Structure 1
Amino acid sequence: MNPLTAKRIAATGSAALKLLMPGLCFVVSSLAAAPVSEVAEQFDRHFEQQLVEHHIPGGVYAVIEGNQIVRVRGVGVRARGGDEPVDPYTVFRIASVSKTFAAGLAAVLAEQGYFSWNDPVVNYVPDFSFRSARYNKALQVEHLLAQTTGVIPNAYDNMIEANVLPDRILPHFRQLDPMCTPGECYGYQNVLFSLIEPIVQQTTQKDYATLMQELIFDPLQMATASVGMEPFMNSANKAMPHVRARGGWYQSTVVPSYYRFAPAAGVNASAMDLSHWVMAQLGHYPEVMPEHLLATITDKRVRTVRDLRRGHWRQFIRDAHYALGWRVYQFGDEELVYHGGWVRGFRADVAYSRDRQVGLVILLNAESNIVSELSTYFWSKVFDAIHIAEAEQFSELHSTEDD
């Protein structure tokens, strides 16, 4: 028996741990779950079935256990109407999963002494200001990556999508004041999150993409990963974006808008690349991401109640927080570190369980919500979690265990 599983059984001391939620009942089995290889085999069939059923042009997944890739497989094609298959090395835009890389890079640079997490942002971006200047010094570097700037969620994302340049967007924050003192409440950002880029560039005198390549991609053997639109377009093996129109999926164009906010959404990667990123989060690249840095970036900074209502996820998670560039979910009685991404024509999910030493990567070249169904399907199998809609059903099915 896996030592971690044995430890859990000893800790719970019962056949199942019941987690009550309003109107719902939840079971997380404390019996040994199926081996990861078996879960991966089940997931493989489910993944293909879902992509075919929803007519997704192409996608790829990878299942990681420890420092090994248990299973990785591409399904479908890189572009609708084409015949080039998606494979484990096909490069996708990973959208907001890029935030996990920004946090990892920032943690490495802070460790090297280039800046401190509690430095005021205006020390490095002196032109930035809120409407009330008294808030300016309160906004710290950590708040950017923890999504605790206090600003209304997704501030000026509409301007990103309208292809407005960053230098034209930043002055608009002079029209806003935080909803709370920075550091005290959650508000998801892309523009403000990306202020980490000028901070790292100013303190290191190196370009953000260069730093990412030298400190993250190269040492983690992420051979096809990159930052920015040009390297994506130059990739010979890349997936093209697809959007829904007239009941089907149609190929779209790659636009530069979110690429201009590289920390928030500018990374490109394959399933193989992201598998090594997950291995690093699981502790298997300590020379790049040592234990104390992993603890720093996954330390819960702020509760994210809204995540408890997410489709598919809401039937499994009972608590949610934002750390630094990562979300931390309480999936039943287990901790799951997660981030998803969505940018025009692409979806991405990356998650891992440190205790179980298991990770999952999903990349799709279509804006489909099945990515959430796929992720929760996988993790419910790994954690052996069963959601039951009615409390009465729980009582009937598990009355002997209650006794």
Structure 2
Amino acid sequence: MSWFAKTAFGISTLFSASVVADIHPHDSPVPLYPEFTELFERRLAEEKVPGAVFAVVRGNQIQHIHSYGVRAQSSTEPVTADTVFRIASVSKTFAAGLAARLQHDGMFNWSDPLTQYVPEFAFANPDMSAQVEVQHLLAHSVGIVPNAYDNLIEANYSSEQIIPYFQRLNPLCEPGQCYGYQNVLFNLIENVLSSATGRSYQQLLQDYIFQPLNMQHSSVGIDGYLASENRAAPHVKGRNRWYERQVTEHYYHFPAAAGVNTTARDLSQWVIAQLGHRPDVMPEPVLNDVRQPRIRTTRDLRRRNWRHLLTNAHYGLGWRLYDLGQHSIVYHGGWVKGFRAEIAYSPEQDIGLLILMNAESNVISELSTAFWADILPRLQREQWIPYYHGIRSRSKTPKAQQEESSLLPLYRGNGSFEIGEGLLKR
């Protein structure tokens, strides 16, 4: 029996709370979450993470939301299901979903040249510039060095200021032939959609996604974040403790790549739509399009925590497509100063998980991988069980023994740059 699948467990922790929806019969294995909740709280407490929340979606409903800790270290206000977090690169899933809706509505074509909408865009070789198509933006397959000019984002440059710098570069391969994760280039989908429709990206997102999904507390940009009284503050690690920081607006200048603010309750509605239960928002052809593998991402096979689970990895449009043996999940993570976010769902199991944190802790990936390997039936019966035993026993193992363990080092975050999510070492 799975170590999640126990029938009863009680836990009460200061500033923690759960919201459980009515659970209806479902064909796939029925997961009960008491042990995942215990693992969630224990690992966050061990890492001294100020606050976080997770939600599980099943079918067309939110099955469980559990919040932990405080919105800011300087406050006693608790994190709730409606606390606003920055979700960083998880914003890319919204940009891709919106773009796919508009493309299927005939507003533009995936094969349109980027220069049709952004005429000022150019590489050093003009012939290569002409080969970049709109779809290459959302698949990170433009062909240039990963995270091109993210350093200028960090220097608070705008997109308009950065675009001319691409005239100094040439692709490493022909567009569409190799993978390189981008923020600046990905964000040009904002220009494409605005040019194709005559409306702002923020208004399109509101009209096509936020409003129909009743995502009342979701927004784009720093103003939307600051307008919420129930918002989480960012925290960064230093000298073995977390420090509260002010939100920086750098990545907010790139709304399609990293500009969405949302809550666990709101983001759950987005997962429900991704699972196919809101065809008025995300029709099946649109979902099939964004989940179609566009480019292989071999580097993902070496990602901390995920590398012992993945058997193949691709990028679709705004989503990572992970194979775990015979199973598949659709995933994306986000990391911006002081925040982490992860979202994933399994179409075959009709279930999704999201985790939001107000701290830059790699424990988020431990929790995600633990959840998915347990939920996916064959994995929980086969080689991955020792992997989770390692996570569960970590806090019970003396530090000296941890240093000698072959499993436990897998769960130590190092804050290093990961091309996969556009993370920057600070």
For Structure 1 versus Structure 2, the TM-score category normalised by the shorter chain is 0.7 to 0.9
2:372 pairs with one of 372, 376, 379: 379
> Shift in Å at residue 33 of structure 1?
8.0
> Shift in Å at residue 41 of structure 1?
2.2
Q: Distance in 2 between matches of 1:136 and 1:314?
A: 35
> Shift in Å at residue 167 of structure 1?
1.4
1:170 aligned onto 2:167: no
1:11 alignment counterpart = none
Q: Distance in 1 between matches of 2:364 and 2:386?
A: 22
> Shift in Å at residue 332 of structure 1?
2.2
1:319 alignment counterpart = 312
2:112 alignment counterpart = 119
Q: Distance in 2 between matches of 1:308 and 1:334?
A: 15
Cα distance per residue 1:231-272 (max 9 Å; x no partner): 101111100000001110011111111000111000001001
The residue identity in structure 1 corresponding to 2:384 is H
2:289 alignment counterpart = 296
1:107 aligned onto 2:100: yes
Equivalences for residues 241-320 of structure 1 within 5 A:
241-320=234-313
Q: Distance in 1 between matches of 2:34 and 2:168?
A: 53
Cα distance per residue 1:172-218 (max 9 Å; x no partner): 10000001000111000000000000111111111111110010001
State the SS of the aligned residue for 1:134. helix
Q: Distance in 2 between matches of 1:33 and 1:249?
A: 40
1:75 alignment counterpart = 68
Q: Distance in 2 between matches of 1:284 and 1:147?
A: 28
Number of aligned pairs? 357
Q: Distance in 2 between matches of 1:105 and 1:70?
A: 26
Cα distance per residue 1:262-286 (max 9 Å; x no partner): 1100000100111000000000000
Cα distance per residue 1:321-343 (max 9 Å; x no partner): 00000000001220100000000
1:398 alignment counterpart = none
Q: Distance in 2 between matches of 1:297 and 1:351?
A: 14
Rate the CA distance shift 1:287–1:368 in 2: closer, same or farther, 3 A. Answer: same
1:131 alignment counterpart = 124
2:323 pairs with one of 330, 334, 338: 330
Larger deviation, residues 357-366 vs 66-75 = 66-75
Rate the CA distance shift 1:352–1:335 in 2: closer, same or farther, 3 A. Answer: same
Say whether the 8 Å CA contact 1:308–1:319 is kept in structure 2.
yes
Equivalences for residues 56-67 of structure 1 within 5 A:
56-67=49-60
Q: What do you get for the CA RMSD once the two structures are aligned?
A: 1.3
Gaps of 5+ in 2: 1-26, 388-426
State the SS of the aligned residue for 1:313. coil
Q: Distance in 2 between matches of 1:387 and 1:41?
A: 20
Percent identity for Structure 1 against Structure 2:
51
> Shift in Å at residue 73 of structure 1?
1.2
Q: Distance in 2 between matches of 1:80 and 1:347?
A: 16
Say whether the 8 Å CA contact 1:271–1:361 is kept in structure 2.
yes
Q: Distance in 1 between matches of 2:64 and 2:260?
A: 23
> Shift in Å at residue 161 of structure 1?
0.8
1:188 aligned onto 2:202: no
Larger deviation, residues 163-172 vs 266-275 = 163-172
> Shift in Å at residue 354 of structure 1?
0.2
Q: Distance in 2 between matches of 1:151 and 1:243?
A: 30
Say whether the 8 Å CA contact 2:28–2:349 is kept in structure 1.
no
Gaps of 5+ in 1: 1-31, 391-403
> Shift in Å at residue 81 of structure 1?
3.0
Say whether the 8 Å CA contact 2:93–2:319 is kept in structure 1.
yes
Say whether the 8 Å CA contact 2:52–2:358 is kept in structure 1.
yes
Equivalences for residues 350-389 of structure 1 within 5 A:
350-384=343-377, 385=379, 386-387=383-384
1:35 pairs with one of 30, 33, 37: 30
The residue identity in structure 1 corresponding to 2:30 is P
